[in-house]
Amino acid sequence: MRKVKVQEAVGMVLGHDLTRIVPGEFKGAAFKKGHIIQEEDIPLLLDTGNEYIFVLELKEDELHEDEAGMRIARAIAGPGIEFTPPEEGKVSMRAKWKGLLRIDASLLEEINSMGDIIVSTLHNYTPCERETTVAATRIIPLTIAEQKVKGVEYRCKRKKVVDITPYKIKRVGVVVTGSEVFHGRIKESFDETVGRKIKSYGATILAKDVVPDDPGEIAHSLRRLKDTGVEVLLTTGGLSIDPGDVTKEGVKRAGAKVISYGSPVLPGAMFLYALLDGIPLLGLPACVFYYKTTIFDLIFPRVLAGQQITRRDIIKIGHGGLCLGCEVCRFPICPFGKG
């Protein structure tokens, strides 16, 4: 470090914390180590008795933590990410729009293995509102060799660590199954439960049918709704092994290809996922009407973001697929569905 007169220190990096004391009111750091001295800082420096300060002298190939943090953030961030200004070296990344958080976990691990650089994120596939903080980065030392930051930039040329995929699918078709609902013996409550969640993602229920437990009626309704221009289909109920549950048969009769039936998620074990002429079809078990959070909350956002769901995708959710049924549900700020 080098001793410098404060008037000559503008643009230089402070090499130590500077304490400010206001008797009876305040005692703490007026400026912290690593702060870049600005012209407007000079009066306060003099007021606190600092005519001289020690400054860090960066070598030609070194970067200050603030500049390094911003360069790393720009390198790792994909579409839908905005930055906050560096704060004590940390740069936070936020969602620029509502959508699904995507994390390249292997690239994240690779960067965190480099040493002196850290990147922290939320879990992959977390549904995010606009301005949700999704990641943050910083370097561990106060300065770092520029070559190390260039290493991050090189690794992120073709792929990014973090991005927000907007919800692309907007038009939803719904087939509510159940003879007891069709005949009015119990109230049909889709709109108050699942329907409310659909709207929270910015999607619209374009059409909805209520049909009895008849595979032919279910198949006819699915085909009819498909022709109305919906982009995703939902069925509710009728997916257990009870003799009267025939929704799966109706889905097959409609001509849909069943990708997966049964999931390692609780609640949501009887979930069905299929494609009807390329349109995603989610068979929702009756648990969606009772539990606050189910497999619907794990799969539906990914479908809206345009992801092609595979059987392996559903199988992998088993790690973290047990909902704890907390009295106050804070999903997605919880471990459910995050292996």
The CATH label, of 3.40.50.300, 3.40.50.150, 3.10.20.740, 3.40.980.10, for the domain at 171-316 is: 3.40.980.10
Q: Do domains 2-56 and 171-316 have the same CATH topology?
A: no
Q: How confident is the model at residue 256 (pLDDT cuts 50, 70, 90)?
A: very high
Closest CA to 276 of 258, 299, 260: 258
Q: What is the pLDDT of residues 141-175, one digit of tens each?
A: 988 999 999 999 999 999 999 999 999 999 999 99
Element (H, E) at 92: strand 91-95
Give yes or no for a contact between 116 and 201, defined as CB atoms under 8 angstroms apart.
no
Tell me what the mean pLDDT of segment 264-289 comes to.
97
Its pTM stands at: 0.86
Please tell me the total number of residues recorded for the chain in this structure. 339
Residue ranges of alpha helices (H) inside 202-241 are: 215-226
Closest by alpha carbon to 78, among 58, 99, 59, 60? 99
Q: What percent of the chain shows pLDDT beyond 70? A: 100
Q: How far apart are CA 112 and CA 131, in angstroms?
A: 24
The architecture CATH gives domain 62-165: Alpha-Beta Complex (3.90)
Q: What is the residue-averaged pLDDT of the chain?
A: 94
pLDDT by residue (tens digit) across 209-254? 999 999 999 999 999 999 999 999 999 988 887 777 899 999 999 9
What is the enclosing helix (H) or strand (E) of 275?
Answer: strand 272-276
**CATH placement of domain 2-56:** 3.90.105.10
Domain map (residue ranges) of the chain: 2-56, 62-165, 171-316
